[in-house]
């Protein structure tokens, strides 16, 4: 069973090629501190082992945007991301009465797309603009 502990910053390490797929650690810290009423960030623990980080933003009652989700490089490829996200969604449903969780991922990040699809997110649309190419997804609880 995973544990989600409130956090003020992202502490996990990513592969260099993954760092551009998330906000910079300083940016994440600022997002958390500047939005205490709507943003929640969590360190993800598998027993006593820090394996990941997740950040959500409440944008309407019962609706959340999964802004950042990362699994530490040392734990990737072990299905930890899928397990953590599945448990996190259930936690959001029971603890925060979430009805919808939306997210985006950068087009071409097939690993992220696969994890989101595996837990039940569905593609809602694709943004294909000169400076933005993202896939939008939603999970309905």
Q: Report pLDDT digits (tens) over 38-55.
A: 999 999 999 999 999 999
Q: Is the pLDDT assigned to residue 117 strictly greater than 90?
A: yes
The three-state secondary structure class of 21 is: helix
131 pLDDT band, cuts 50/70/90, is confident
The three-state secondary structure class of 3 is: strand
Backbone angles phi, psi at 86, to 5 degrees: -60, -45
Give the other-Cβ count within 10 Å of 139's Cβ: 21
Q: Which tops the pLDDT comparison, 20 or 102?
A: 102
Domains of the chain: 2-140 (3.40.630.30)
Q: Is the pLDDT assigned to residue 109 strictly greater than 90?
A: no
The pLDDT assigned to 108 comes to 83
The pLDDT assigned to 20 comes to 85
Distances from the Cα of 125 to the Cαs of 73, 108, 122, 138, in angstroms?
Answer: 29, 14, 9, 10
Cα angle, residue 41 at apex, residues 38 and 45 outer, rounded to 5°? 150
32 pLDDT band, cuts 50/70/90, is very high
Task: Give the range among 13-17, 108-112, 119-123 with minimum mean pLDDT.
Answer: 108-112
The distance from CA 105 to its chain's CA centroid, rounded to whole angstroms, is 10
Q: Give Cβ neighbours of residue 119 (< 8 Å, ≥ 6 apart).
A: 82, 85, 86, 89, 139
The pLDDT assigned to 17 comes to 87
The per-residue pLDDT of the chain, averaged, comes to: 95
Q: Which helix (H) or strand (E) holds 77?
A: none
């Amino acid at each position: 069973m995973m544990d989600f502990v409130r956090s003020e910053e992202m502490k996990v390490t990513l592969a260099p090629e993954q760092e551009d797929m998330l906000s910079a650690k300083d940016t994440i810290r600022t997002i958390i501190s500047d939005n205490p009423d709507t943003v929640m960030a969590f360190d993800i623990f598998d027993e006593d082992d820090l394996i990941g980080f997740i950040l959500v933003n409440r944008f309407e009652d019962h609706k959340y945007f999964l802004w950042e989700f990362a699994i530490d490089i040392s734990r990737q490829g072990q299905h930890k991301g899928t397990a953590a996200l599945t448990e996190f969604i259930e936690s959001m449903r029971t603890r925060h009465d979430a009805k919808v969780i939306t997210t985006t991922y950068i087009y071409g990040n097939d690993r992220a797309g696969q994890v989101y699809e595996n837990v039940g997110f569905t593609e809602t649309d694709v943004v294909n603009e000169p400076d933005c190419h993202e896939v939008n997804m939603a999970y309905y609880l």
